Homo-oligomer: A and B are copies of this chain.
């Protein structure tokens, strides 16, 4: 991937030593170096056709992001299903699309007691016998869910204690289900490693990522909304992963001031959202930065045919263009139009091809960016204290009946 910036700032190099120190404590940094042989061997031993992830938030979003990115161009023989809600309408609908006798269930919960996940697990356990053959559990070492798995003779993979849910896609959380689908998880990690190396190892730090992080942190009060304008539907779930990573990591009270700070993520898909959110970017309040993501080579030959529709001959200018050329020209046109305006910080990320390596790069790039911005904002990037109160109130309500 390449990243072109249309804004400038002096990278805050003071943060580098702090990030290096953090790398010793926080687990996501080194996930890209893990040995995946065990995951691959285990995945190979599972021959179910329907791979069903039961998990929510960080237990599901990264896996969906990678699967959806790849599924249009790789025709996987196995299908991924994700149940990430208590909404009975969706659970019913999803279950109708699963061949229970030919399904493998991955119950994924870091704490082991996530209400949404366990209630769906209970439901599934009531309609099909759960055994060591059709179920895998991924959870923290020592959790109640792990104890349950051991007693039930179900295979367990651990999430490292120092890896938070939204930073866990390159651990067993993402790698096990993705390997089961047939996705090249080595290549995925190689992509992540490439970003790791360019940042940490190549003749000192790559300052371009640091520059971007510095800019976001220093302008957080002006540009408090960060739009990710991704030009292809393949990024739909990646955008959702980004929204969680960014929002949940960076929406915090500052450690030293206790001030509420936060950068608001917005995920957009081009060209569709040119007909929706774009007007707000162009003419609205100047509180938004924009990152455009493009795919250089769609490897798709579909083109506008050389026909002419009566009275619509003015649009024959489209004839002979590949659709992939048109979507990229649309992205370039929006970049040019935004560059002509003031106070809309812009950068462009170019992905060469749609493959596991590319999405590995992109994921690690954003994890590192979130870590850098969080450090500069003087927050704890890795906790989520704000969601606890809702859970406590829910437990009280459940106990009342």
Contacts and interface: CB of A to CB of B under 8 A. Distances in A.
Contacts of A330: 86, 115, 390, 394
A274 B387 contact: yes
B126 A307 contact: yes
Contacts of A393: 332-333, 336-337
Contacts of A329: 394, 397-398
Given A144-B311, A330-B86, A225 B264 contact: yes
A148 B276 contact: no
A46 interface: no
A325 B241 CA distance: 28
Given A278-B390, A307-B122, A385-B283, A272 B113 contact: no
B282 A387 contact: yes
A266 B319 CA distance: 37
Contacts of A145: 311-312
Contacts of A288: 264
A16 interface: no
Interface in A153-180: 165
A88 B300 contact: yes
Contact of A260 (B248, B285, B321): B285
Contacts of A56: 271-272, 275
Contact of A88 (B152, B305, B324): B324
B61 A276 contact: yes
Given A280-B262, A284-B261, A334 B233 contact: no
A287 B287 CA distance: 11
A279 to B, nearest CB: 4
Interface string A331-373: 0111011001000000000000000000000000000000000
Nearest to A330: B394
A389 B340 contact: yes
A147 interface: yes
A319 to B, nearest CB: 8
A44 interface: no
A340 B393 CA distance: 11
A90 interface: yes
A88 B322 contact: yes
Contacts of A309: 118, 121-122, 125, 148
A386 B266 contact: no
Interface stretch (A97-105, A210-218, A249-257): A249-257
A52 B93 CA distance: 22
A243 B276 contact: yes
Interface in A65-97: 72-73, 84-93
A257 to B, nearest CB: 13
8 contacts: A87-B234, A118-B309, A118-B315, A224-B287, A244-B275, A251-B282, A260-B286, A333-B397
A302 B123 contact: yes
